[in-house]
Amino acid sequence: MASSTKLSPARLYRFARHIVLPEIGGAGQARLAEAHIAIVGLGGIGSPALQYLAGAGIGRLTLIDNGDVEASNLQRQTIYTERDIGHGKAVIARGWLADFDRGLDVDISDAKIEPGNARAMIDGAELVIDGTDNFATRLAVSDACVAAGVPLLSAAVGRFQGQVGAFAGHLPDHACYRCFVGDAFDAEDCDTCAEDGVLGAMVGWVGTFAAMQAIKVLLRGVSQFGDPRWGTVFQMDGLAPGMRSFAIPKDPTCKGCGD
């Protein structure tokens, strides 16, 4: 659907609190209505990110997750209920969006994302948010984003700590996610929240911060909302609480984005 359709009087009223912000305005809201984001992983990070991106009026969403809802997910994965247990997350997420806003375009995939299919699964997206829980998948997504020329927001959380990084490894002098973590994690060997535990509210903070960063990426050059700060990783501490950031330099020998 064209932005003119999405910004009908009803849509203008729906997003009025965005439009009155000088940092977003009508032009910014129209840009969001035209945007296409792929969300990889519809768990604790993907759930709140999806909700706030839908609330922001992102016009098209591609949802990727091959998992089913489990009872232990309900502590932090905010779009699911007890009646969803045993059903596919991607299907349930699409149903949630249909109930929330029928004006959004939604595609889903319940296939496992891997190096061989990652680029095809994010095809057409102009931004990818990765909230998955293993390095093999994260690196496959990162490499696919570099190959497709698409920026990536990579988000992770464990216990009381989280991080969100904005990567544009397809651009000269900008790092990709592989520059950050290296090649040692090309296997599904990282710790999981099932092993270490995680505070549900901490996951929500990471997911909503990722959604806010996504809006910044989409509005660059259109509004005054801010700079996505490519190559910057924000670390979030739920115990202190606090946040700090650091920059990741491009690795010229990186097999994902290097020379």
Q: Nearest-CA neighbor of 41 among 128, 164, 167, 166?
A: 128
The CB-based long-range contact list for 194-197 (8 Å cut-off, 24+ gap) reads 194/72, 196/158, 196/159, 197/159
Q: State the alpha helices, DSSP H only, in 67-166.
A: 89-100, 118-121, 135-148
Which residues lie across from 232 on neighbouring strands?
166, 247
User: What count of other Cβ atoms lies within 10 Å of the Cβ of residue 101?
Assistant: 15
Q: What is the Cα gyration radius of the chain?
A: 17
Q: Nearest-CA neighbor of 50 among 180, 184, 208?
A: 208
Name the catalytic one among 145, 176, 179, 193: 193
Distance CA 67, CA 137 (A): 14
Distance CA 200, CA 45 (A): 10
Q: The tokens of 93 are what?
A: 């997420």
Q: Determine whether 193 is an active site residue.
A: yes
Distance CA 32, CA 39 (A): 15
Which residues lie across from 136 on neighbouring strands?
none
Concatenate the DSSP letters of all residues of 206-249 into one string.
HHHHHHHHHHHHHHTTTSSS----TTEEEEEETTTTEEEEEE--
Kindly list the catalytic residues. Answer: 193
